[in-house]
Chain A
Amino acid sequence: MVWLTLRQHRMQLLAMLVLLLGAGALLLFSGLEAQGYAAAHAPPGCPGQQDVCGEVNAGLADRYDAVYLFVGMLPLAAPVLVGAFWGAPLLAREYEQGTNKLAWTQAASLRRWLTVKLALLATAVTVSGLVMSAMVSAWLPGFREAKGDTSFANAGVFSMVGVSPAVWWLFAFLFGAASGTVVRRVLPAMAVAVLGVVTVTFVLFNLRDTYAEPVRLVTTHYETALDRGAMMKELTWLSPSGVESALPPFDVCSMPNTQRGAIEQETCLFEKGYQRVFYHHPTSRFWRFQWTEAGILLAGALPLGGLTVIRTLRRRN
């Protein structure tokens, strides 16, 4: 049965292996190259945030951004591909080709056939997600001074580290499998899987900053007071009389029309007793948010898996 599962899904497994090897090679190369660049170009005292490090930090940031073009696509692309190519065809293909009538009339029971397939592929997809997460996590520290800790604040990176890729891919796999048992044709099932995974992705990305009550920080020295890499929810102004507003007052300091003007306005307002209010999630909440999202996705994956099993085992037509 294990052989059958591997044989039937070898293209998907192979594609996943290629993706992991490709991503691994890219991240390893990028990491080593960045390390070499920093060693050759960093003035004494760097790495750090001092002005003298500006140039080497900019160079590292460019390198990070180039790789991020690829890594930043994965949070959406990888679950979509897993849902469409691993999940959707799992049962839809059998129904469409009529091979379910072959596979389900063997001595081995349908229950066992389904259990082995779901368990094996779900494990493979989860392990692949963890491997991807480990590789991205190993790549990130080389750019911490240049880009800050992006693993929490950046929605794309957050989805590629911790347990996130594993649970997202598992969810997408089960979503695809469930759509295959409902639609029973490969292409429509793939379309449903893509649509579903994309929708859930956008919804959860937008809900993320509500996983916890944000911390309220009132300060005029946010460069030092604010946790670099924190997840920002809302930014407001607090007047000396204690009134909070989203926009700065227009009649206290002159309105800016350049970036420099914005800084001047801010300095001016701070001098008049105004303060900024940051509603944010500090980076210490990283794991809490990871597990919250994992919990939401697993709570969704469970009924999808149940639907797949029930619809397959119940032989009405």
Chain B
Amino acid sequence: MTPALEATGLGKRYRGGWALRDLSLAVPEGRVVALVGPNGAGKSTLLHLAVGLLDPTHGTVRAFGEPVRQAGVAFMAQDKPLYDGFTVAEMLRFGRTLNPGWDDDLARNRLAELEIPLRRKVGRLSGGQQTQVALTLAVAKRPRLLVLDEPLADLDPLARQDVLRALMSTVAESGMTVVFSSHVVADLKDTCDWLVVLNRGRLQVSGDIDELVAGHRVLRGPVEAADAIADRLPVIAHERTDRQATLLVRSAQPVPDPRWHEHRVDLEQMVLAYLRDPGSSALPRPALAALGKDDRPWSG
């Protein structure tokens, strides 16, 4: 199946240096993707490349096998830009004028449900309402891929919940693929099923969340046995006291050594562990293969 979003050897250099390097990933269709990373990790750059607002310095990015500008991608930028002087109705007309696949009923019904008055100027709406209008503009285009850059930032907890719930019900109805970025992992835990972690402009993790959780385990055991584990399995994080070691390892199989107690890993804990250790990565085979093919001349 053609991936909803596919990047190959993607790199972006600004005047100040590389914002994104050597990134290859493939996200299957129908997923809700959480793009996580600290501030300055390159999340916005990746999303801008994914919607065609930026041209890459290296590599390619495609949606559904097509160049992103022709692929029916909708985007909501971080500051949720709207024309402040327009009324909500005029913003809808903007969407209708610029998008042949525009679903006006969907847009109107959605705003009516949210009780956002069509005649009000956008600049006079609350922050939550503006986000909802921006989101309505994005979903009423009926995109196959919806890309949202920090959609929940600047919202109070109540508005956060509302926006997230409204978004998820729309997604469930349409089956569209969604990518959204956040630097707050907790926001995404219950809504997403695919995780992408970016750190310092490089891809660290890309995979199905259930598989990632199943593929990592927290081990607690005697400190003198820790090195033996580290020799056999990739250790993402470790904590040692005088007697006890706690390790986060990537392994699908349980460790047979009875001295080690296993715990299920928590998603947030796992993400933080990866972010603290930019050297480690958990990437699915296709992404690694693509990387090797294009950018690693020594590999073959």
Q: Which residues of A are interface residues toward B (Cβ below 8 A)?
A: 1, 3-4, 7-8, 97-109, 113, 314-317
Contacts of B53 in A (CB 8 A): 101, 104-105, 315
B93: nearest chain-A partner, CB-CB: A3
Q: What would 19 A/B residue contacts be, using CB atoms closer than 8 Å?
A: A1-B97, A1-B98, A4-B94, A4-B98, A97-B81, A97-B84, A99-B83, A102-B77, A102-B137, A105-B52, A106-B99, A106-B141, A107-B99, A315-B53, A315-B55, A316-B14, A316-B54, A316-B55, A317-B15
Chain B contact-residue range equals: 20 to 34
Which residues from B are CB-within-8-Å of A98? 77, 79, 81
Question: In the complex, A252→B77 CA distance in Å?
Answer: 83
Stretch at the interface among B66-74, B240-248, B277-285: B66-74
Check B82–A99 contact: CB distance below 8 A. Answer: yes
Contact (Cβ within 8 A) A107 B52: no
A314 to B54, CA, bound (A): 8
CB distance from A110 to the nearest CB of B (A): 8
- Is the pair A7, B77 in contact by a Cβ cutoff of 8 Å? no
> Nearest chain-B residue to A93 (Cβ)?
B83
B143 to chain A, nearest CB (A): 9
B72 — nearest CB in chain A belongs to which residue? A107
Q: Which residues of B contact A102 (CB under 8 A)?
A: 77, 81-83, 134, 137
- Within 8 Å CB of A113, what residues of B? 98
How many Å lie between the Cα of A54 and that of B134 in the bound state?
A: 70
Closest to A316 in B: B55
User: How would you classify the secondary structure of chain A's contact residues: helix, strand, loop or mixed?
Assistant: loop
Chain A residues contacting B75 (CB-CB under 8 Å) are 101, 105
Nearest B residue (CB) for A317: B14
Using Cβ atoms and an 8 Å threshold, which residues of chain B touch A314?
Answer: 55
Could you tell me the distance between the alpha carbons of A314 and B53 in the complex, rounded to whole angstroms? 10
Beta-carbon contact of B83 and A108 below 8 Å = no
**Would A109 and B69 count as touching, CB distance under 8 A?**
yes
Which A residue's beta carbon lies closest to that of B90? A7
Give the docked Cα–Cα distance between A108 and B72 (Å): 11
In the complex, what distance in Å separates the CA atom of A1 from the CA atom of B93?
10
Q: Are A105's CB and B73's CB within 8 A?
A: yes
Complex-state Cα separation, A98 to B83, whole angstroms: 10
Most buried by B among A98, A102, A109, A317: A102
With A3-B93, A106-B141, A107-B99 known as contacts, the answer to whether A317 contacts B77 (CB < 8 A) is no
Residues of A with C-beta under 8 A to B82: 99, 102
Closest Cβ of chain B: how far from A304's Cβ, in Å?
Answer: 23
List the A residue with the shortest CB-CB distance to B56.
Answer: A315
Q: Which of chain A's residues have a CB closer than 8 A to the CB of B72?
A: 107
CB contact under 8 A between A106 and B98, given known A101-B75, A315-B55: yes
Interface pair B81/A101, CB less than 8 Å apart: yes
Report which of A3, A7, A107 forms a contact with B101, defined as CB distance below 8 A. A107
B95 CB–A CB distance under 8 Å: yes
| Bound CA–CA A1/B94 (angstroms) | 8
Query: Is B100 positioned at the interface, with any CB of A under 8 Å from its CB?
Result: yes
Complex contacts, A1 vs chain B, CB 8 Å: 97-98
- Chain A contacts of B84 at CB under 8 A? 97
- Contact check, A99 vs B81: say whether CB atoms are below 8 A apart: yes
Residue B25 at the A interface, CB < 8 A? no
CA distance A101 to B69 in the complex (A): 13
Most A CB contacts (10 A, CB to CB) among B48, B69, B81, B99 go to B81
- Chain A neighbourhood of B51, CB < 8 A: 105
Between A99, A101, A315, the greatest number of chain B beta carbons within 10 A of the residue's beta carbon is seen for A101
- Return the chain A residue nearest B147 by Cβ: A105
State A100–B75 Cα separation when bound (angstroms). 12
Residues of A with C-beta under 8 A to B69: 109
Shortest 7 CB-CB distances between A and B: which pairs?
A106-B98, A101-B77, A98-B81, A105-B75, A108-B98, A107-B99, A99-B81
Complex Cα–Cα for A101 and B79 (A):
10
Q: Which residues of B contact A317 (CB under 8 A)?
A: 14-15, 54
Provide the bound-state CA to CA distance between A113 and B83, in Å: 16
**What CA separation (Å) do A4 and B55 show in the bound complex?**
26
Bound together, the chains give a CA A315 to CA B49 distance in angstroms of 10
Contacts of A315 in B (CB 8 A): 52-55
Closest CB in chain A relative to B257 CB, distance in Å:
52
- Residues on A with C-beta less than 8 A from B73 are 105
C-alpha gap A105/B98 in the complex (Å) = 10
Collect the chain A residues with CB atoms within 8 Å of residue B134's CB: 102
CB atoms of A7 and B86 under 8 A apart: yes
Which residues in A have their C-beta under 8 angstroms from that of B99? 106-108
B148 CB to nearest A CB, Å? 12
Chain B nearest Cβ from A186, distance in angstroms: 13
Complex formed: what's the CA distance from A211 to B82 in Å?
49
| Residues of chain A with a CB closer than 8 A to B94's CB | 4
Q: Which residue of B lies closest to A1 (CB)?
A: B97
A residues less than 8 Å from B97 (CB atoms): 1, 3-4, 108
